[in-house]
Amino acid sequence: FFFQIAINSFAAPDTFFFISGFLVVYSNMKLNLPKIPFVYFVLYRYLRLVPPIMFIIGVWILSASIDQGPLFKEHVFEEFIDHCDKLWWKNILCINNYSGVDGECMPWTWYIAVDLQLYVLCYFLLNILRRNPKRVLFILKTTVVASVFYLMAYYVHYDLPPVPFLIYIAPKASLYYTKIAHVRPDPHIGSYCVGILMGYYIATQKKINLSRSKIFIGWSLSILFGGFVVFATYLWNSGRVATTLESALYGGFHRLLWCLMISWITYMCINENGGVVQSVLSWYGFVPLGRLTYMAYLLHPIIIILCFGRFRHSIAADQMFLAYAFISFTFVTYFLSFIFCMICEAPITALLSVLISSKVRKNGVNSIKKRKESFSV
């Protein structure tokens, strides 16, 4: 039952889509920054995310020279490296999430493409939000509700299961679900809009002191929503076939329920009512790890694929072996992430701060100073 936490992780990316939409609106509305030119807005994000991907793709292609192991050519080169040799340009254009079912370069980078696509959309919503917030808020709320019914119809039309199950013995079935209902931007628009709504609400509304009963109800619903999203798949993973109605309901609502849970946690932590959850999430040790997260996200699958692709014997994948593999892969991933971050990501971030971010921040600081001066006068 509790193993659903490990195998049912398809709602996890929506956490980051929520955070992305939340931070864009919250940071701009809270600081009351002036309108940022579209080129600066998108270019900063693009140059922050894509050059490390290009660097890792180059390393990934060069790794073909370590061709070792009886299955390296079939399961590493042909299924992964060869796709990067042919389709690397889609990653640079951030359209790799629209690749066909036959493969894509570094398929785990679909999130970057979707995030950037939604980020561009957020620019226009943010600017309209400054001028006519009521209209945009209505559009966002309507989009969230419409996305639920859209996904329900989507699951029915394509006859999709609620999630790709562990019991699937045909990899193509899981791959089909991933390509149809997971790596495109439309299934995640609702999550992104929830983040935008929460960011605007927290940035513009005064702190509300909730009663203990309301806090208790909020945490109870949050736990209920999160528990349903994670553990509702237990019966289906145990062998029972999901009906069309069950697939439609779960497929339509699970992302929204998950983001509502994250919204409550965010609201409680910002208002200093997060309790133990806030203490854990505010741990200072997450700061250095967080700076390595992006590079670790890019490197981790490569390390696993190269390791198992070079094996020359069968593996007894028992619990002890998996525990050793987990610890080893985690250590190696963050060790290499630190090195690659110093070589590639950190210099790019520093350069962007000088070329782009400094100009935008200067304009924002000057505008804030002017507002303070006019207020004092």
What's the token pair of residue 352? 């962007």
How much of the chain exceeds pLDDT 90, in percent? 32
Q: Find out whether 263 and 194 touch, Cβ atoms under 8 Å.
A: yes
DSSP string covering 225-267? HHHHHHHTTHHHHTTPPPPHHHHHHHHHHHHHHHHHHHHHHHH
pLDDT at 324 over 60: yes
Predicted local confidence at residue 335, as pLDDT: 94
Mean pLDDT for 308-330 is 79
How far apart are alpha carbons 14 and 222 in whole angstroms? 16
How far apart are alpha carbons 179 and 293 in whole angstroms? 25
Predicted local confidence at residue 373, as pLDDT: 35
How far apart are alpha carbons 255 and 14 in whole angstroms? 7
How far apart are alpha carbons 161 and 14 in whole angstroms? 18
Least confident of 59-63, 209-213, 285-289, 357-361: 357-361
Residue 338 is which amino acid? F
Residue 299 is which amino acid? L
φ/ψ of residue 266, rounded to 5:
-60, -45
How far apart are alpha carbons 264 and 218 in whole angstroms? 7
- Hunting for tokens 């200093």 — which residue is that? 272
- Domain boundaries defined on the chain: 6-282, 284-376
pLDDT at 122 over 70: yes
SS3 content of the chain, % helix, strand, coil (to 5): 80, 0, 20
The mean of the pLDDT values for the chain is 82
pLDDT band at 345 (very low <50, low <70, confident <90, very high): confident
How far apart are alpha carbons 101 and 123 in whole angstroms? 31
pLDDT at 71 over 90: no
Predicted local confidence at residue 371, as pLDDT: 36
Q: Where are the alpha helices (DSSP H) in 102-188?
A: 110-131, 133-157, 171-181
pLDDT at 79 over 90: no
Predicted local confidence at residue 369, as pLDDT: 43
Query: Could you tell me which residue, 377 or 29, shows the higher pLDDT?
Result: 29
pTM score of the predicted model: 0.86
Q: What DSSP designation does 182 have?
A: T
Mean pLDDT for 109-127 is 90
- Side-chain half-sphere CA neighbours of 376 within 13 A: 6
pLDDT in tens, 276-308: 888 898 888 888 888 999 999 999 998 888 887
